[in-house]
Structure 1
Amino acid sequence: MNKTVLIIEDNNDIRENIFEILQLADYIVYEAQNGKAGVELAIKHKPDIILCDIMMPELDGYGVLYILNKNPETANIPFIFLTARAERLDLRKGMEMGADDYLTKPFDDMELLNAIEIRLKKKVAQQDFYSKSLDRLSSLISNKDGLAELKKIIQERRTRQFKKGQVIYYEGDKGAVLNLLISGKAKSVKLATDGRELMTGIYAPDDYMGINSMLLNEAHSDTATAMEDSLVCLIPREQLEELMNRYPDVAREFIKLLAKDVKDKEEHLLQMAYNSVRKKMADAMIRLQKQQNEGDEGFKITREDLAAMTGMATETVSRTLSDFKDEGLIEKKGSVIKVINFESLLKMKN
């Protein structure tokens, strides 16, 4: 079945050109010349993807995205901004609101088609992930109705793509959503009084981020950033609270997750305060190795991130990694590290 695309663009020439290109590529295309009409068409046709200009009469692109995000039937539709070069500084606002991507005008035919194809493929990949992830999440709930509700919540929620280095949430932001990392890798850091970054967490796929702030209804105590291109599912606190109220098994398991998060951070802080340099590095290598999937050829992390994770100076990180390499504990190529003697590192940590 052919995919459907909605174009919301007030410039007639640009809109008609995109329309023709997409029709030639066998897409079913709807078009709107202003934001208000675009919202009405999106609600009526529920397209597979939306292309939307930012500056428009009636309702601008930000307003379109805001309204569609509020509607459960349109909130999960991939959304790409079409923006002039002068507007690129405003793109952070759109990406933080939940836009999936942007194209800077003028763009060529292949840029347009590739952007659409990539977003549609990622949407399919997300659905594949959900079916696999729900098998892992099923251990949270003994009640089948509870599992069905959790599945519904996850599948209906919007996901956000974060580029490497992009902030997922800031320290001081309200913990209004639970962040489930679907793909990629992320870290959370807190600034010390002397200006150094201290890493409070490192996250791999299937990890929950900001769970303590969300469950306690408090502001985030650290800042989370994508360490590589990452996909995050955002689950609103209100929906999760309703689920936990209805199914006590869910509440108990999330309380366990909260307790584990607190315990892990306490242990990490104690290790940074009292452990030797070698023990700190051994602990970091073990943590990072455990997050790898079977068949992975090591993990990628910068000296700066390792320094923040261990509470060490970058020069000390370099020396210790060199020692570990010379001792046959790890292999290192650039920023990629592979643990080759896990047992020795484990003994060193203990």
Structure 2
Amino acid sequence: MKTILLIEDNDGIRENTAEILELTGYHVLTAGNGKEGVEQALTIRPDLVICDIMMPVLDGYGVLHIFNRNPQLAGIPFIFLTAKTERADFRRGMELGADDYLTKPFDESELLSAIEGRLKRFEQVGSPVTIAQSANGQPASADAVRHISGLTDLVTDRKVHAVRRKQYVYTEGDDPTRLYYVKSGNVKTVRANSDGKELITDLYSTGSFFGYVALLEHAPYTDSAVAIDDAELVYIASDEFQQLLTDPRVGQQFIRLLAGYVSERESQLVSMAYNSLRRRVADTLLRLQQGTGQTAAPDLIQLSRDDLASIVGTATESLIRILSEFRQDGLIEQTHGVIRVLQPDKLRRANW
């Protein structure tokens, strides 16, 4: 009988989910917060973990970090369970090493299918996963032979490179030579038209990987990467990245990141084509509020007006006008270039 550890702070969800799993034939351990969950796992090693993200004492990200670092727990299939649907949460969970991601509310078949898929995949791959061969079947380089329990393990004990504010990491048209990891700071990727007008295609904060799309496509960069502020980056050479992809766990997680990237680009295009400017600004503020990852409080947005306008895809003057209207309506607060969303529900529900 497989043992599943369910970590969820909502009593009703925890009890109902545990009942479904027990009726299906699983042995279920439950915990009301992350700290209790880790203690349970150290006592009885589960075959799989289902863990909420937003919890008291220790959140889901903290739980997964401990699992990745503890040899006794590393490699256990890990499914995040959360009501948050922002891409930043999905991406951060995948980068930390989560195997799957379920959003509330979910139905019974979705839950059981995710569990069965993870357990079956885990039995085929084994744990922990060791990369010992390159794509051609020959032994990989010494640097590439490592135990992988999460994507962040790829950058452990590597040299850190300082990048100054406004410094280019790479430029559009360059051939990709490495994978990048943001150890600290923030990086933006931008595309420019023939008139030099820029559109910010993505933002990468502490704990994010970028540059993998061009590496996976074996094609030149289609955008440029620029440090928004002083940042620290870790580099993984292209050859080593290709070797690391032979590990099914690593490859699967980068496929998930790529899928999220494509989905985000599609949403961005639809928004620009059909949504009003007010709707686009509101959606951008909501997304940044949840996923900036900056050193300030998580509900603060610290971007220049030019950068914010480039994300929305509008002129800076138009952005300033919309922000002023939002401020007058009491939806946001602006202080010294920092934006705080005061009424996210009203921004989200407004019919513009």
1:138 aligned to which of 82, 93, 97: 97
Aligned residue for 1:322, secondary structure, equals helix
For structure 1, the residue ranges without an aligned partner over 5 or more in a row are 1-130
Name the aligned partner's letter for residue 343 of structure 1: D
Identity within the alignment, %: 31
CA 1:268–1:151: 2 relative to 1, 3 Å: closer
CA 1:168–1:275: 2 relative to 1, 3 Å: same
CA RMSD of aligned residues (A): 2.6
Structure 1 residues 38-68: Cα deviation after superposition (integer angstroms, max 9, x where no partner): xxxxxxxxxxxxxxxxxxxxxxxxxxxxxxx
| Counterpart in the other structure of 1:114 | none
For structure 2, the residue ranges without an aligned partner over 5 or more in a row are 1-64, 70-92, 100-120, 131-145
Partner Cα separation in structure 2 for residue 175 and residue 192 of structure 1 = 21
CA 1:253–1:153: 2 relative to 1, 3 Å: closer
The answer to whether the 8 A contact 1:302-1:335 is kept is yes
Aligned: 1:211 with 2:212: yes
Structure 1 residues 178-223: Cα deviation after superposition (integer angstroms, max 9, x where no partner): 1111211111110023321111111221222122112112111001
| Counterpart in the other structure of 2:170 | 169
| Counterpart in the other structure of 1:320 | 322
Name the aligned partner's letter for residue 222 of structure 2: S
CA 1:221–1:134: 2 relative to 1, 3 Å: farther
Name the aligned partner's letter for residue 128 of structure 2: K
The answer to whether the 8 A contact 2:165-2:231 is kept is yes
| Counterpart in the other structure of 1:348 | 350
| Counterpart in the other structure of 1:47 | none
The answer to whether the 8 A contact 2:290-2:298 is kept is no
Structure 1 residues 247-300: Cα deviation after superposition (integer angstroms, max 9, x where no partner): 222212211111211111121122123211101101110121112459446121
Aligned residue for 1:219, secondary structure, equals coil
Aligned residue for 1:306, secondary structure, equals helix
CA 1:134–1:192: 2 relative to 1, 3 Å: farther
Partner Cα separation in structure 2 for residue 176 and residue 348 of structure 1 = 44
CA 1:132–1:331: 2 relative to 1, 3 Å: farther
| Counterpart in the other structure of 2:283 | 283
CA 1:312–1:323: 2 relative to 1, 3 Å: same
| Counterpart in the other structure of 1:59 | none
Name the aligned partner's letter for residue 255 of structure 2: I
Partner Cα separation in structure 2 for residue 168 and residue 200 of structure 1 = 15
| Counterpart in the other structure of 1:253 | 253
Name the aligned partner's letter for residue 349 of structure 2: K
Structure 1 residues 128-184: Cα deviation after superposition (integer angstroms, max 9, x where no partner): xxx779566232596313472466642243221111111111111122211111211
| Counterpart in the other structure of 2:4 | none
Partner Cα separation in structure 2 for residue 200 and residue 151 of structure 1 = 23
| Counterpart in the other structure of 1:179 | 180
CA 1:133–1:313: 2 relative to 1, 3 Å: farther
The answer to whether the 8 A contact 1:133-1:206 is kept is no
| Counterpart in the other structure of 2:10 | none
- Measured after TM superposition, the shift of residue 317 of structure 1 is 0.6
CA 1:151–1:329: 2 relative to 1, 3 Å: closer
Partner Cα separation in structure 2 for residue 297 and residue 290 of structure 1 = 7
Q: Which has the larger radius of gyration?
A: 1
Partner Cα separation in structure 2 for residue 252 and residue 243 of structure 1 = 11
Aligned: 1:148 with 2:147: yes
Name the aligned partner's letter for residue 291 of structure 2: Q
TM-score, scaled to structure 1: 0.57
| Counterpart in the other structure of 2:159 | 158
Name the aligned partner's letter for residue 234 of structure 2: C
- Measured after TM superposition, the shift of residue 240 of structure 1 is 2.2
- Measured after TM superposition, the shift of residue 322 of structure 1 is 0.4
| Counterpart in the other structure of 1:332 | 334
Partner Cα separation in structure 1 for residue 180 and residue 153 of structure 2 = 16
Q: Which sits farther off after the overlay, 317-326 or 233-242?
A: 233-242
| Counterpart in the other structure of 1:124 | none
Aligned residue for 1:332, secondary structure, equals strand
Q: How do residues 253-272 of structure 1 correspond to structure 2 at under 5 angstroms?
A: 253-272=253-272
TM-score, scaled to structure 2: 0.57
Name the aligned partner's letter for residue 206 of structure 1: G
Aligned residue for 2:279, secondary structure, equals helix
Q: How do residues 303-318 of structure 1 correspond to structure 2 at under 5 angstroms?
A: 303-318=305-320
